[in-house]
Structure 1
Amino acid sequence: MVLTMFLLGLLYVVFMAVLIAVGARAVVVLVIAAGFLLVQYFFSDKIALYAMGGREVSPQEAPELHAVIDRLSALADMPKPRVAVADSDLPNAFATGRNQKNSVVCVTTGLLRRLDPPELEGVLAHEMSHVAHRDVAVMTIASFLGVVAGLMTRFALYTGLGRNRDNQGGLPIGLIIVLVSTIVYCVSFVLTRLLSRYRELAADRAGAYLTQRPSALASALTKVSGEIARIPTRDLREAQSFNAFYFAPALNRASVAALFATHPPLEKRLEQLARISGELGREA
């Protein structure tokens, strides 16, 4: 993950250097992109809950769910996140929030109906690992470069920079910006997806060690993936835009290149959990 973040940072420096070299007015784009970044960073929990139809629930409304979160918070020695439930048959869960004190863990009613208590605990441990690792903040910052590149392309197209040539009478400045921005966006997209897959594996690992029951998390992964396959494709496509938040992707067909996936393959996640199970067995 450190290497991926380094490459994203290096890409950002190169991109800014090219924009300055061609004389682009990048300040406006940077200000707009920074505004988007700040809104996403500070209000990610509210935005995600609203988009996915989640609502916060009290201990009186969901005592069993709160009890699991209380136990995991004590084990992880971290502040208890807010607890929410989304009325959806899609069996899934997500965590969001910029830090541990401003976080929320949300599960769907479909997940609550399908998992037994140890499996649910494994899923919630995975989600709380995202909170502990500040994954929302990391992914928000990592996606900043892609936002800048996309806005820069639109800026070049809509302001007519493509008709203005550089001082040496070479290629239009706008064309240079569009080409560089497109390349940067594509590379940034791939690196961000790579980082997303790493963070999912890290959350699986941390969640398994937190509960000391990697087999329960593996069972939940297998069950959720199988149940999602039974959901109508139309409903899955509507939920696909939220894949980056979910415990398991809503739609992840084999035809989609693994390079662009937000989550690692199920087989890879299960292999890691099997190794952890073996390690814990030897320690015992």
Structure 2
Amino acid sequence: MRSRIRPDRQLTVRMGATMFLLGLLYVAFAAALVVLLRSVVLIVVIVAGLMVAQYWFSDRIALAALRGRVVTPEQEPRLHAVVDRLCALADLPKPRVAVAELDLPNAFATGRNAEHAVVCVTRRTLDLLDDRELEGVLAHELAHVAHRDVAVITVASFLGVVAGLLMRTTVFSQAFGRRRDQGTAAVLAAVTLVSALVYAISFLLIRALSRYRELAADRDGALLTANPSALASALMKITGDTARIPRRDLREVQAFNAFFIAPVGGRLAALFATHPALDVRLERLADLAVQIGGTTENPEGGR
């Protein structure tokens, strides 16, 4: 079955370019480590195993970490009704539907492909949004599923994870290991420097890809519902309501920012953010509303 959410050529190009650049970075990184350490096979095998597990079980990991549970149509008829309608419109297989019992407005999609996808919303999101806004949010998440964003980001992040682990290992070794000769110390310092550089470059590449994929999901979700203003209204409500959440609670879920429809925690500089700025997203949605024939609803949800 082919989804009616059309392929995004710009997103595909950006994904391909990111993978290519990360591939070149990986080759240079591996070559440097072979020269410096002689063998890095074991650590790469271990980290690769962790990444495969994350890719294969990303849905279970995310749900467990965010206290989400899969719900039936009898348990959450409103939520299932919206997902059923959108999947029929998009010609997508229906994902599992989950609710996270969090007093934090947000939503996310995870899973390695459309057949193993989970779309999850928090309890606060269900209470906060009206039906049209909820539809806009879920259409955004289904666009992520159609684009296989979770799989791409997981694979793309592999090199950054390896570099970050090596950087921490070598820093720890230098700080707490036994005294070494100058040659060994120089090698460890070189490994730390190379790892830090690779981690920084891969981090920036992945963040740039993440920001674009959010804009792509906004656009395709809004096109699916033909109601960009409903998604705009949902984003404003989610962002505004998040501001009331204690910082301590926000820090607990910040690790999952790349999955959420809207980021939580303090605002980062644009270069480091996982999501575009809210005003950029709202402007894009307003332009899209004009392109498809004007706003079908105002931001408050009325026709």
Q: 1:4 and 1:162, CA in 2 relative to 1: closer, same or farther beyond 3 A?
A: farther
Q: Give the Cα–Cα distance (whole angstroms) in 2 for the partners of residues 16 and 120 of structure 1.
A: 45
Q: How far apart are residue 163 of structure 1 and its match? A: 4.0
Q: 1:187 and 1:138, CA in 2 relative to 1: closer, same or farther beyond 3 A?
A: same
Q: 1:152 and 1:222, CA in 2 relative to 1: closer, same or farther beyond 3 A?
A: same
Q: Give the Cα–Cα distance (whole angstroms) in 2 for the partners of residues 75 and 252 of structure 1.
A: 36
Output one character per residue of 1:198-233: Cα deviation in whole Å (capped at 9) or x when no partner. Answer: 111111111011111111101111111111112222
Counterpart position of 1:189 = 203
The alignment partner of 1:267 has SS state of: helix
Counterpart position of 2:91 = 77
The alignment partner of 1:22 has SS state of: helix
Q: Give the Cα–Cα distance (whole angstroms) in 1 for the partners of residues 34 and 286 of structure 2.
A: 50
Unaligned runs of 5+ in 2: 1-13, 297-303
Query: Aligned to 1:251, which of 229, 251, 265?
Result: 265
Query: Aligned to 2:279, which of 262, 267, 279?
Result: 267
- In percent, how many aligned pairs have the same letter? 61
Counterpart position of 1:225 = 239
Q: How far apart are residue 59 of structure 1 and its match? A: 0.6
Q: Is the 8 A contact 1:45 1:103 kept in 2?
A: yes
Counterpart position of 1:88 = 102
The alignment partner of 1:172 has SS state of: helix
The alignment partner of 1:106 has SS state of: strand
Query: Aligned to 1:148, which of 159, 162, 169?
Result: 162
Answer yes or no: is 1:235 the counterpart of 2:221: no
Q: Give the Cα–Cα distance (whole angstroms) in 2 for the partners of residues 280 and 121 of structure 1.
A: 18
Answer yes or no: is 1:9 the counterpart of 2:23: yes
Q: 1:162 and 1:206, CA in 2 relative to 1: closer, same or farther beyond 3 A?
A: farther
Q: 1:118 and 1:11, CA in 2 relative to 1: closer, same or farther beyond 3 A?
A: same
Q: Give the Cα–Cα distance (whole angstroms) in 1 for the partners of residues 214 and 272 of structure 2.
A: 14
Q: Please tell me the residue identity of whatever aligns with 1:190.
A: L
Answer yes or no: is 1:139 the counterpart of 2:153: yes
The alignment partner of 1:281 has SS state of: coil
Q: Give the Cα–Cα distance (whole angstroms) in 2 for the partners of residues 124 and 199 of structure 1.
A: 15
The alignment partner of 1:176 has SS state of: helix
Q: Is the 8 A contact 1:56 1:85 kept in 2?
A: yes
Q: Is the 8 A contact 1:224 1:248 kept in 2?
A: yes
Unaligned runs of 5+ in 1: none
Q: Please tell me the residue identity of whatever aligns with 2:112.
A: R
Q: How far apart are residue 156 of structure 1 and its match? A: 3.9
Q: Please tell me the residue identity of whatever aligns with 1:9.
A: G
Mapping for residues 101-112 of structure 1, pairs under 5 Å: 101-112=115-126
Output one character per residue of 1:45-103: Cα deviation in whole Å (capped at 9) or x when no partner. Answer: 00100000011100111111111111111111111000001111111111100111111
The alignment partner of 1:83 has SS state of: strand
Counterpart position of 1:280 = 292
Output one character per residue of 1:98-142: Cα deviation in whole Å (capped at 9) or x when no partner. Answer: 111111011111000110101000000001111111111111011
Q: 1:69 and 1:20, CA in 2 relative to 1: closer, same or farther beyond 3 A?
A: same
Q: Give the Cα–Cα distance (whole angstroms) in 2 for the partners of residues 45 and 134 of structure 1.
A: 13
Q: Please tell me the residue identity of whatever aligns with 1:33.
A: V
Output one character per residue of 1:134-184: Cα deviation in whole Å (capped at 9) or x when no partner. Answer: 11111101110011112223454549799467xxx7982222111101111
Q: CA RMSD in A?
A: 2.1
Counterpart position of 2:224 = 210
Q: Is the 8 A contact 1:29 1:155 kept in 2?
A: no
Counterpart position of 2:75 = 61
Q: Is the 8 A contact 1:125 1:207 kept in 2?
A: yes
TM-score normalized by the length of structure 2 = 0.86
The alignment partner of 1:88 has SS state of: coil
